[in-house]
Chain A
Amino acid sequence: MKNKVQLFSISLISGWVMLFGGAPLLLLLITSFLKQHPEKFYQFSFSVQSYFQLIDPAYLDIFLRSVRLAGLTMLFCLIFGYPFAWFTGRLQQHFRAAMLIMLMIPFWTNSLVRTYAVRMILGTHGLLNKALLAVGITESPIRFMYTDSAVVLGLIYLMLPFMILPLYANIEKFDYRLVEAARDLGAGPLQTFSSVVFPLTLPGILAGCIMVFVPTMGLFYVATLLGGARNLLVGNLIQHQFLVSHNWPLGSAMSVILILMMAAMLALYWLVLRRFSARGQVYHA
C-alpha cells in the first residue's frame, strides 16, 4: 500500500518535471541542432551550423558585455545586499519580518512596470534631473537614460531582493557568539569578518550571486528600455533570433550555451557546499 503511494508520488513528480522541465529543454536542444531556413523558423535536418555561427566576434562581444554588466549588477547587489541582510539578521524577530515585507512589497508590481518607473525617474525631464536642477547641482539636465549605468542601475533595482533573500537565509542562522569569540581571542572587526563571518556566510554569498547573475544574463527588456538599441545583451539577442529574425536554431544554440554556463555555476556552488558539509558544516543557504 505504502509502496503504491510512493510509486504514485514519485511518478507524478518526475512526470511533472519531465513534462514542464525536461521536454522544453530537449526541444531547445534539438532545435539548436537543426538547419536554419531563410523563410521558415527552421529546417528539419541535423546541423551544427548555429554553434559555429556563435564563434563570430560580434556575438562574443555581446556575450562578454552581458557577463560584464551582469557581473557589475551582481557585485553592487552584493555590496548593498550584504550589510542589509546582516543587520536585518541581527534585528529582533518582529523587526526582521517588517524589513523583509518591505523588501517584498515591490515584487507585487510587475517588473516591466517597475522598469518603466525607473525610466520616469532617470529621464531628461525625470524626477532625478528635476531634483538636481532644483538644488542647483547641475545647470542643465544630465543624460542618464540609454547608458550602461542606467541599465546596471535598473538591473540592481530589480535583482537586489534575489541577492538579499539567500544571504539573509544564511546569515539568520549565523551564530553571532562566534563574532564575540573571535573578538575575545584578539581579532579586530576586519579580521573577524575575514576569518569568521565571511567564510561562514560564503554559501549564502554564492547562492545570492548565482540568483542575481543567472537571470540578469537573460533580462532583455531592462536593456531595451533603459539602454536603448545600443545596449544589446545576450537576452536581447536570443529574443531577437526568435521574434524578429525567426532564426530558431541560432536562438536555441545561444540559449543552450547560456544554460550550460548557469549549470557550471550551480555545479561550482554545489562543490563548495559539499566541501562545507564534508567538514561538518551545516550553514546551507
Chain B
Amino acid sequence: MDTNFQPVLSINDLSKSFDDTVAIDHFNLAISQGEFITLLGPSGCGKTTLLRLIAGFEKPDRGTIFLDGVSIIPLPPEKRKVNTVFQSYALFPHMTVFENIAFGLRLRNVSSQELKETVGAALEQTKLASFAGRMPSQLSGGQQQRVAIARAIVNKPRVLLLDEPLSALDARLRSEMQVELKRLQRELNITTILVTHEQDEALSLSDRVVVMNEGEIAQIGTPREIYEEPSSLYVARFIGDINLLPATIEGRNVGDTLGATMLGQQISLNSSLDFSPGTKVQILLRPEDIRLDRDIQEDMPRFSGTIVERRYRGATLDTTIQLDHGPTIQACEFFDENDPDFDYQIGERVEVSWVRGWEVILPDEE
C-alpha cells in the first residue's frame, strides 16, 4: 500500500458557501487506498456538504477534488467513480432488493450472467440472499441498511461515501452494523469516507478521524491520537467525557516537567510544549485518568472532595466528586477483582488525583 504514494482521493483548497454561511473553508485532505476516514463533527460543521461535494451533488466555490489524480469537479454525479450510502437509505421503493442492487450494473450494460453473479455475491456479503425478491418496504431498518450498502459496493467504487448510515438504527443494531461495515470494508479493501456525529462510531471504525469545526479541520489523526492528545478544547469536548481544571503555568522545572499552580497547589505537568510563565491553561483529564484515595500514586497532588453521585455501570463504578476548592470531577474506576465490595457512599470524603503523565494541557480558549 505504501509503495503507491498517489492518494486515491485528494481534496485541495476546497471552499463552499451557501448564501452567507461558509460550509467548507479552504479544506485540504488526502486519502490513500483502503483507508477508512471519518468526518466527525456536530451538525452544521460542513461534513455532509463535503461528502456531497465529493459525490457531485454540490459544486464548490473554489478548489478541486482529485480522484486517482484526475479532477472530478467538472463531472456530474453519475460520471464519478464514487458511490454513496444515504442516511435515509433512499432505496427505490418500486424495485425488489435484487433490482435495487442491480441498478448500477444495469446502467453499465453488464451481461446478464455477470449481473446475476455480481449481485448474488453482494447479497451473500451483506447476508441478504434470502431477501432478494422482497420489496424495500417489507424489510426492517437494518436490512434496508444492508441493501443500501450492497447497492453501493456492487459497483466497486473507488471511494465509498457513507452519510450517517447508522443513525436511524437502534443502539444494539448499530454496533452490530459497525462490526459488519468494518468487516466488509476490510474484505473489499474499499477506500471509505464516513460522516457521523457519533464519536464512538468514529473511534471504533476509522483509520483516521477528521474532526471538523465550521468547515475547517479542527484535528486529524488516528482515533488514539484524537482521544488521547486532542489539540484543542473543541476536539476534547467533542470526543468522550472530560474534566477540565484551570491552571496557571509557573515555568519549566529541572528535568522535563512544567511547573504550574492548580486549585492552589503546586503541580508538575508532563509536556514538551513551552508555555511562558503566567499563561492560563486548562488541564484535561478523562474520567478514567482519575484516581481516588489509595490508588493515588506517590508524589501526586491530592485534592479533597465529597462524593455527590455514584453510578454502578457493571464493569465500572462512575462517581461525581465535588472538590472543596474547585469544580466537580467525573471519575470512572474499574472494579478490582481483589476488592469485590469496592463502593462509595454519597457524602463520603475522598482524595482525588490522576495518573502521572496522562494529563493533556490545552491553551485556555475562553
Indicate, yes or no, whether A interacts with B: yes
B90 near A200 with CB under 8 A, answer: no
A280 near B78 with CB under 8 A, answer: no
Query: Whole-angstrom distance between the alpha carbons of A199 and B93 in the complex?
Result: 10
Question: Which residues of A lie under 8 Å from residue B273 when comparing CB positions?
Answer: none
Query: Whole-angstrom distance between the alpha carbons of A184 and B56 in the complex?
Result: 8
Binary per-residue interface labels of chain B (81-98) against chain A in the complex, 1 for a CB within 8 Å, 0 otherwise = 011101010111110000
Question: Which residues of B lie under 8 Å from residue A276 when comparing CB positions?
Answer: 94
A280 near B92 with CB under 8 A, answer: no
Pick from B100-108, B305-313, B352-360 the stretch touching chain A.
Answer: B100-108
B94 near A181 with CB under 8 A, answer: no
Question: Which residues of B lie under 8 Å from residue A191 when comparing CB positions?
Answer: 107
Question: Which residues of B lie under 8 Å from residue A184 when comparing CB positions?
Answer: 55-56, 77-78, 82-84
Question: Which residues of A lie under 8 Å from residue B91 when comparing CB positions?
Answer: 181
Chain A: minimal CB distance from B163 (Å): 10
Partner of A182, one of B55, B103, B108, B137: B103
Near B by CB (< 8 A), chain A positions 86-101 give none
B78 near A199 with CB under 8 A, answer: no
B135 at the interface (CB under 8 A from A): yes
A177 near B90 with CB under 8 A, answer: yes
A185-B94 contact, Cβ under 8 Å, with A177-B88, A280-B135, A280-B137: no
Query: Whole-angstrom distance between the alpha carbons of A3 and B314 in the complex?
Result: 55
Binary per-residue interface labels of chain A (121-150) against chain B in the complex, 1 for a CB within 8 Å, 0 otherwise = 000000000000000000000000000000
Query: Whole-angstrom distance between the alpha carbons of A183 and B56 in the complex?
Result: 9
B136 at the interface (CB under 8 A from A): yes
A200 near B93 with CB under 8 A, answer: yes
Of residues B78, B108, B135, B137, which shows the largest number of chain A Cβ atoms within 10 Å of its Cβ?
Answer: B78
Question: Which residues of A lie under 8 Å from residue B136 when comparing CB positions?
Answer: 280
How many A residues touch the partner, as a band? 20 to 34
A186 near B90 with CB under 8 A, answer: no
Near B by CB (< 8 A), chain A positions 184-202 give 184-188, 191, 195-196, 199-200
Question: Which residues of B lie under 8 Å from residue A196 when comparing CB positions?
Answer: 92
In chain B, what residue has the closest Cβ to A178?
Answer: B90
Query: Whole-angstrom distance between the alpha carbons of A187 and B135 in the complex?
Result: 21
Query: Whole-angstrom distance between the alpha carbons of A181 and B108 in the complex?
Result: 16
B334 at the interface (CB under 8 A from A): no
Partner of A181, one of B92, B107, B135, B137: B92
Count residues on chain B whose CB falls below 8 Å from chain A CBs.
Answer: 27
Question: Which residues of B lie under 8 Å from residue A185 when comparing CB positions?
Answer: 78, 83, 103-104, 107, 151-152, 155
A281 at the interface (CB under 8 A from B): yes
Query: Whole-angstrom distance between the alpha carbons of A40 and B82 in the complex?
Result: 78
B57 at the interface (CB under 8 A from A): yes
Binary per-residue interface labels of chain B (29-65) against chain A in the complex, 1 for a CB within 8 Å, 0 otherwise = 0000000000000000000000000011100000000
Near B by CB (< 8 A), chain A positions 232-265 give none
Chain A: minimal CB distance from B80 (Å): 8
In chain A, what residue has the closest Cβ to B87?
Answer: A177
A200-B94 contact, Cβ under 8 Å, with A186-B104, A186-B107: yes
Chain B: minimal CB distance from A94 (Å): 17
Query: Whole-angstrom distance between the alpha carbons of A195 and B76 in the complex?
Result: 18
B138 at the interface (CB under 8 A from A): yes
A280 near B93 with CB under 8 A, answer: yes
A175 at the interface (CB under 8 A from B): yes
A180 at the interface (CB under 8 A from B): yes
Near B by CB (< 8 A), chain A positions 172-230 give 175, 177-178, 180-188, 191, 195-196, 199-200
Query: Whole-angstrom distance between the alpha carbons of A186 and B84 in the complex?
Result: 11
Chain B: minimal CB distance from A193 (Å): 13
Question: Which residues of A lie under 8 Å from residue B155 when comparing CB positions?
Answer: 185-186
A188-B78 contact, Cβ under 8 Å, with A177-B86, A180-B86, A182-B103: yes
Question: Which residues of B lie under 8 Å from residue A4 when comparing CB positions?
Answer: none
B108 near A186 with CB under 8 A, answer: yes
Question: Which residues of B lie under 8 Å from residue A283 when comparing CB positions?
Answer: 93
Of residues B103, B135, B151, B152, which shows the largest number of chain A Cβ atoms within 10 Å of its Cβ?
Answer: B103
B94 near A199 with CB under 8 A, answer: yes
A2 at the interface (CB under 8 A from B): no
Of residues B55, B56, B93, B135, which shows the largest number of chain A Cβ atoms within 10 Å of its Cβ?
Answer: B93
Chain A: minimal CB distance from B83 (Å): 6
A279-B135 contact, Cβ under 8 Å, with A183-B78, A186-B155: yes
User: Known pairs A180-B55, A180-B77. 16 more at Cβ < 8 A?
Assistant: A175-B88, A180-B86, A181-B90, A181-B91, A182-B92, A182-B103, A184-B55, A184-B82, A184-B83, A185-B83, A187-B107, A199-B94, A200-B93, A279-B94, A280-B135, A281-B94
Q: List 22 A-B contacts (CB under 8 A).
A: A175-B90, A177-B90, A178-B93, A180-B57, A180-B86, A181-B86, A181-B91, A183-B56, A183-B78, A184-B55, A184-B78, A185-B78, A185-B104, A185-B152, A186-B108, A187-B103, A188-B76, A188-B78, A191-B107, A199-B94, A280-B93, A281-B93
7 tightest A-B CB contacts, nearest first = A280-B137, A181-B90, A185-B104, A183-B77, A280-B135, A177-B90, A186-B107
